[in-house]
Amino acid sequence: MELRNPVMTASGTFGYGTEFQDVVELGRIGGIIMKGTTYEPRQGNDYPRMAETTGGMLNCVGLQNKGVRYFAEHIYPLIRKIDSRMIVNVSGSSPQDYARCAAVVDTLEDIPAIELNISCPNVHDGGMAFGVTTDGAASVVKAVRQAYHKTLIVKLSPNVTDIVSIAKAVEAEGADSVSLINTLMGTVIDIEKRKRTLSIGTGGLSGPCVKPIALRMVYQVAHAVDIPVIGLGGICNATDAIEFIMAGASAIEIGTANFLDPAVSMKVVDGINEWLDAHNVASVRDIIGVAE
């Protein structure tokens, strides 16, 4: 899969793209990774699902969505002609559950890729459970690879001891690309209520506070696998994006920053081009992984 430019929007932070169309020219973004989709509809977790922290936020949404068949029937017709790469983020509760969701997306002509979410920290059945062991990650990718024939991106969890071994395991099962990082599991306590703030106690931390960790992991993984790496985690501007590219990412995703500035993705596209021009660099390809 080729992208117009290396800037994508991260799943769960940009809806289906249409929510942002009043303030963003969607055709200027390299790719839009739509919200997490499962085979069966899911109601998600109870409110409160969000807490703020210095330099970031935590969420425990829990994959609320109406299911992949609803997506195919009601949302796909609305988004298929958006002039960007429209990618479905697929989640599930078992390898077979992931595979049957991916199989439905496989039939949708204008969806060139899926991002497999084996790293959601906010659901008990599946999600991150698969992403924290090499065997679990491999089992999901193996099942999905048989059901899905287009570009398969696997989104990795940072909540592991050795992310490189997970990346290698999914590469060995036929993943075309890995994206990292998903959110870091954390918590927040309301000291007046003497209680953890989020409805399920914990949530996924995102925002600029996670960037150095994400960047380190992207660097490690990019130096260990042969497939393209997509970097994300706290990217707020073009400088952040170029750091990830120099760490080895072929493309990047912007997530939580969309909440602060819904138009940030276009600014990052422009900012990368300005940097390339100012440094007489012909293409983003020329700076991928150049950081020593």
Interface residues toward other proteins, by CB under 8 A:
12-15, 19-20, 22-23, 35, 43-44, 46-50, 52-57, 59, 61, 64, 207, 258-263
For residue 65, the 8-state DSSP code is: B
Nearer to other proteins, 22 or 292 (CB): 22
Q: Please give the structure tokens belonging to residue 75.
A: 């949302």
Beta bridge partners of 87: 33
Q: Which is nearer to other proteins, 58 or 247 (CB)?
A: 58
Nearer to other proteins, 35 or 100 (CB): 35
Instruction: For the CB of residue 209, give the shortest distance to other proteins in the complex, in Å.
Output: 9
60, 101, 120, 209: which one is catalytic? 120
Backbone phi, then psi, for 155, in 5-degree steps? -90, 125
- Calculate the alpha carbon distances from 100 to 106, 125, 226 in Å: 10, 16, 28
- Are the C-beta atoms of 233 and 215 separated by less than 8 Å? yes
Residue 279's SS3 state is coil
Tell me how far the alpha carbon of residue 6 is from its chain's centroid. Answer: 14
60 catalytic per annotation: no
Distance CA 204, CA 184 (A): 5
Residue 37, CA distances (Å) to 75, 90, 114, 220, 283 in order: 12, 5, 10, 29, 34
As beta bridge partners, residue 65 has 42
What's the closest the beta carbon of residue 260 comes to other proteins, in angstroms? 7
Q: Across the strands, what pairs with 86?
A: 32
CB of 56 to other proteins, least distance (A): 6
Which residue lies nearer to other proteins by CB, 57 or 118?
57
Q: Taking the alpha carbons of 64, 181, 157, 103 in that order, is the dihedral positive or negative?
A: positive
Strands 189-190 and 195-196: antiparallel
Contact between residue 212 and residue 181 where contact means Cβ atoms under 8 Å apart: no
In the bound state with other proteins, the residue whose beta carbon lies nearer, of 188 and 221, is 188
Nearest approach, Cβ of 218 to other proteins (angstroms)? 23
- Residues acting as catalytic residues: 120
